[in-house]
Structures are given as structure tokens and as C-alpha cells.
Chains A and B, each alone.
Chain A
Amino acid sequence: MSHSSVLLQMENLSVTYFGPPDVVAVHGVTLDVKRGEILGLAGESGCGKTTLIGALTRLLPDNGEVTHGRIEFDGVDWLGLNEREVDQWRWTRVSLVSQSAMNSLNPVISIGEQITDAIFAHEPRTPKADGWDRARSLLRMVEVDPSHVHSYAHELSGGMRQRAMIAMALALKPDLVIMDEPTTALDVVVQAQIIHEIRSLQERLRFSVIFVTHDMSLLLSIADRIAIMYAGEVVEVGTRSILNHEASHPYTRGLIQSFPSVFHQRTRAGIPGAPPSMVNPPSGCRFHGRCEERMAVCSVYAPEDRDLDGIGHRVRCHLFGDSGITDRQPLAGRGEGSGKSC
């Protein structure tokens, strides 16, 4: 297996839910996850984050299918693996922490049993007692009293449940942990504790994280790199500091401005309008209907990805295009002061 710095590579990935009507929920996504990094994935609900995770974990609903592109995990064609191979890779290579620990834990079997069943499924020769010892030390690692191996989900507090989920996700030392809004359901104080926990564990164990959230300010504090999704596409990706200071796509800027920040004096502004229907996505750039800086070309041609700094700050927007068709003239009376990188 190759040991490049890239752990996971998605190339031009498209996912369709077959209807009727057919819905292309993820459209031409190219994105990579490096070893040991936290990649933030942000976007409004319905932008395709969950579908993208579904494709990454190969857990799409029955009518969902990757119709285009490829996913390479540690040099292996992830979509080419058969079900049995995928099952072996699950949890040992990729694990999942999901939004609501309450709903993600089986209510009728104990926490310990849910940790150990993953261990026994993948390491069937583990002696029973060893598996349970590991479950206890995993709980200890996330600062939950190890006696809770015998507890049930309803007996734990929200924060403890989420910690238990994280312990479970780390049970087999995976290379990649996908965290789908792991703190959304928690109150602010507990949220901060969990984030702290995730970061210190990640620094210690050096696993990669895809951290999915709609909370931009959270990503700006935890992620190494951030990808912004809009209407099934990744419209911008870059390091945290680039997105923080040089966010380029009008959507990214709108997203960042819609959250108050303690560090920067930002005027809170929202993005006018609502995300487009995915059944009939808009022509051209999918964001053009809500864009303050739209140009004539935007509603006609879809923009292509463009690497702004040559080291991975990619934007999908005509403001940064250079092809012949680009017409830089903004529509009359709209968005006079276009983006600063323009």
C-alpha cells in the first residue's frame, strides 16, 4: 500500500438517488483527506453532505448510487471492493460518529456490548475478557467511567453518550473517523468539552477526521482544511486560515458572515434566498440565483474548479475563471463591489 500523504481521494464523484424523480445529490466532487488531518465539511442542510458520507461509507440508501467518479482509500479503489471486503474495512479503516448518540446507540443492548461486538466482528479470535477490557479502557480514554460498559444508552447523559460513541469509533484504531455533526445535539458547554476531547485524541492518535457540520465558526476553530458544499458541489476548499481570511466564493463569504465570531468584528449577514431544488438544479452555476455578484455567464455555463494559489485553494466560481466565455461584467445594478480577490 502506498504511503502518500493522501489517505482518501474522491475524484469527480457524483451520486444519484433514483426516483422518480431522479435526484443528483452529489455532483462532481473532487476532494482529498490527508493523513492525520481534520477536514471540515460545511454546508446548509440538504447540500449533499450526508449523501457524500453515505458514498464514503458505502452506506447509501437502496435507491442511491455512485454514478460517476471514483474514491480511492489508501490507494485502493474503494468502490470496486465487494460487500465482504467493505465489511472488513469498515470500522478497522473508517468509522463513524453520528449526530445523535441517543439514536445511534441500540437502546436494548449495553454500551459495552456495542463496543465489543465491533471488536469481535473484526478480530474474532479476541478472548471475551480481553474485548471487554478494551471496551473499558476505551471508555476511560474518553473520560467515561469504565463501569458504564454495563449501562444502556438511556442511562447516560447526552455528553457521555457522545463520548461513548467516540470511544466506539476508535475501538479498532481506524485511519479515518467521519464525524457527522457530532456536537449539534449537545449544549454549548458540553459541546466545547467534546470538541476539546476530539482534538486531543486526534493529536495523540493521529487519525484523520472528516468533520461535517453546518457550523462554520466551529470549523474555523477545529479543522485543518475546510471544504464548502453547496447544492451537491464542493464550491471551495482551502486551509482554515485561507478560508478565514481569503474566502473567495461568494457563498463561502456569505456563510462565514452569517455566524458571529468572537475574534473578528463581522457584521452578521445571511445569504438571501433558499438552496435550490436538487430535482431541477439551476442552469450554469448552481449558486447564481442567490449570488450578489452574478454575471451574465453564471446562469449559462457551469464554472470549473480553479486552483487559486497552486497549492490547493480551489474555487468553483466564474469570478475566478479565465476561459474565453467568461464575461466579467456584473449584471446591471448588482454587486458593484465584487470579491476582493477579483
Chain B
Amino acid sequence: MFYGVALWAALTLNFILPRLMPGNPAEILLARFKGRVNPKAIDAFMVAFGLNQHHTLIQQYGAYLVQLMHGNLGISITYYPEPVIQVLGQALPWTLLLIAMATIISFLIGTLAGIVAAWHRGGVFDSVAPGIFTFTSSFPYFWFALIMLYFLAYKAGWFPIGSAYAGNHGSFALSNWPDLLYHTALPGFTIVVTSIGGWLLSMRNNMITTMGQDYIHMARAKGLARRRIMYQYAARNAILPNMTGFALSIGFIVSGALLTEIVFSYPGLGYTLLQAVQNEDYPLLQGTLLLIAVAVLLANFLVDLLYVRLDPRVRNQ
């Protein structure tokens, strides 16, 4: 239900945005692009967004939704005559490879580190890690990416200075994976470092709160193995609020990580977004926004499903 409303909100927002320009969007676009852009691209954009001057807003909205259902997001101006949907289709896998993987890895490592820090409270790790990661988590994603690119790729030459693959075309064929990982490692690393602190700190705090619970005391009184208490009793409960936090932060993280793609010229949605901005490619811009919003929604939905599996208390609702 919620996801339905959120999806509808995202679609509608996407519809409204071009109409917020003062005056008639169709005329403005025509004027702005006159002579620069193939008129067919503008036509396609207007069809996709129902920008027909003779229709009422409701009719336009209907037309927009129909086009959307057919996957028509217009034609890209930058990559003319490629349809927007096709451009996005090429970018999406790279974003999934980089951002989705880095985000998940960051969450897993950060959560695990939070468990360890809380369990060995006051130990060396616990005294050092929270301070350090408080700082790394306030690094701007793109700046840390720049720094790493400069030192580890330009200066040290350990990593490629950009792109997601060697040569002109990337492929996900099995033989290409070493190359893909080689290109993805550094941008992925910068995303992990800048986003891990939040998970570490919140998991540590959740663990500490949880470890004060009676059932932990009980588990110790039962003489259970330390590992079982740590994972089945403490972490199993402490991870629940962390997952809620994770679901809600996906949008924020993706926003930052898109800029990482730009720094590394990584051919995903962030890079596509930059292309669209620089070329005033409105169809592509809107398509990218829509796809990112839908992807984040979907990610939220998946986390929710997982949450239900982990917490019996929300299962029967």
C-alpha cells in the first residue's frame, strides 16, 4: 500500500516538474532548443510527457501515464536517436554493480563491526573506530572519491583512473569479471568508507542497548556459548532498528554515491544524470530521476520483506 502511494508520488512528481517552469513548457523547450536539437527528440519528449497544448492537464496526465506504461520516456537528446529507456537500460547494471553492492557491503561490514565494538566495549577497536568513522561518514562522497582517485590512481597507479571496464565496451561475461572488479574496487571502496560509519555507530549503540536487556542476562545465566549470545540474542535483536535505518537511508546514500560515479566516470545512472544536466537533456534527466526513485523504492521494499522475516512481531500484521 505504502509503496503504491510512493510510486504514484514519484510518477506524479516527475510529471509535474517540467510544468513548474514559468509559462508553457512546450514553447519554452522549443525555444530553448531551437536549432540545437533534432526536433524529433523534442516531439518525442512532448509525447512522452503528454505536453500537448490542446489538452487539459488531466488529459495530459492520462497520456503521460499511458506512455509510461509502454516504457516510453522519450528520446535522449544527448544520445539521439536512442530512446531514454535504452540509455537507462545500459546504465542501470553498472549502478547496481557499484552502488548496490557497495551499499550492501558497507551495511554488512559496518553492522558486524558495530557488533564487535559493542561486544568488546572499551577495547582498542571500540575506542578507536567510532571516532574515526564519525569523521569518514561526514566526508562528502565525491570529495573522498577525488582524493582516492588522485592518490591511489593518479599518483600510485594502483587503480584505473575511471570507467568500469577496459576498452570501449563493458560486458558482464564471466571472463570480464576480474577486469570489472578491478575497475569497481576503488569507487566501491570510497562508497564503503564514507557510508560505513553510520552503520557501525548505530549498530554499536543498538547492541549496547540490547545487551542491557533481561533476555541477555537470562541467556548468560543459561550458560550459553558466548557466540550464541552475541549473535542469536544480542545482534539478532539489535539489527532490527539498524535495518529500519538502512531502508530509510538508501535514498540518501544513493544520492551521494551517484556523485562517486561522476568522479570515476563510471557509466552508471549518476554519470548519466551528469550527461543529462550538462546537455540540458530533459527527457534523459527525468527518466533518470524516475528510475532512481523506483530503484530506491524497490530496495526499500526488499529490506522490508527481509525485516518481516527477521521480526516475528510484525509478521502477523
Contacts and interface: CB of A to CB of B under 8 A. Distances in A.
Q: Do A and B touch, yes or no (CB under 8 Å, in the complex)?
A: yes
B312 A103 contact: no
A121 B222 CA distance: 9
Nearest to A92: B223
A261 to B, nearest CB: 32
A103 B213 contact: yes
B220 interface: yes
A6 to B, nearest CB: 22
A283 interface: no
A117 B224 CA distance: 7
B232 interface: yes
Interface string A148-170: 00001011000000000000100
Contacts of B313: 107-108, 152, 154
A297 to B, nearest CB: 41
B280 interface: no
Nearest to B215: A106
Interface SS, B side: helix
A296 interface: no
A59 B313 CA distance: 29
Contacts of A105: 215, 218
A87 B237 CA distance: 23
Nearest to A57: B221
Nearest to B122: A62
Interface residues of A, number: 30
A89 B222 CA distance: 9
B222 A90 contact: yes
Interface string A89-132: 11110011011100111111110000001100110000000000
B312 A152 contact: yes
B236 A90 contact: no
Q: From B213, B220, B223, B228, name the one whose CB has the most chain A CB atoms within 10 angstroms.
A: B223
A96 B217 CA distance: 10
Nearest to A109: B232
Contacts of B213: 103
Given A90-B222, A91-B223, A108-B236, A121 B214 contact: no
A90 B219 CA distance: 10
A91 B221 contact: yes
B233 A96 contact: no
A88 interface: yes
A104 B224 contact: no
Contacts of B31: none
A122 B221 contact: no
A96 B237 CA distance: 22
Contacts of B310: 108
B27 interface: no
5 contacts: A98-B214, A98-B217, A104-B215, A106-B219, A108-B236
Given A59-B220, A91-B222, A95-B222, 18 more contacts: A88-B223, A90-B223, A98-B217, A98-B218, A104-B214, A104-B215, A104-B217, A106-B215, A106-B219, A108-B237, A108-B310, A108-B312, A117-B224, A117-B232, A121-B223, A121-B224, A121-B228, A155-B312
